[in-house]
Amino acid sequence: MEGIINSIVQFLQQGIAAIFKFLQLVWTWSFGQIVSVFSSDWQSLPIWKIVILIIALGAIAYILYKAFMVLWSGVVALFHAFVELLGKFVSVMPQIVIAGLIAFAAGYVIQHVNF
């Protein structure tokens, strides 16, 4: 049983690692393309190419703004989930303490009380 669980965990780790490697590849390529657009030689370009470059830069700025907003909402949701998880930990503390007290009392009776 332990071997099956370890295999599943290893499979999940490899899958997550592959996803992050793909994301890294896409981000690296995309930002390389963005940097190459920004490093264009503006002075030697004809006016129509400068207009296309300005339109492209505006589109890039808009898309990056939208991506930032999506990521920001994810960060806010993650923070909210973390705070909610901490709240759940605090809310179950009385039950955990009661379970510990019952276990302590049972252990004390088993170890020290003789009839």
| CB-based contact 57:76 (threshold 8 Å) | no
Q: Please report, rounded to a whole number, the percentage of residues in the chain having pLDDT higher than 70.
A: 100
The whole-angstrom separation of Cα 24 and Cα 87 is: 34
d(CA 79, CA 32): 31
Task: Residue 30: give the domain boundaries.
Answer: 1-39
- Reported pTM: 0.62
Provide the 8-state DSSP code for 39: T
Task: Give the model confidence (pLDDT) of 23-62 as tens digits.
Answer: 999 999 998 998 888 887 878 889 998 899 899 989 999 9
Task: Work out how many domains the chain is built from and give that number.
Answer: 2
The pLDDT of residue 1 is above 80: no
Residues 27 and 48 placed together within one structural domain of the fold: no
Q: Kindly report the length of the chain.
A: 115
Whether residue 61 sits in one domain with residue 9: no
The owner of tokens 């296309």 is 52
Percent of the chain topping pLDDT 90: 73
For residues 14 and 48, what is the distance between their CA atoms, to the nearest angstrom? 48
pLDDT score for 58:
94
* Confidence (pLDDT) at 45: 85
Same domain for 31 and 59, yes or no, is no
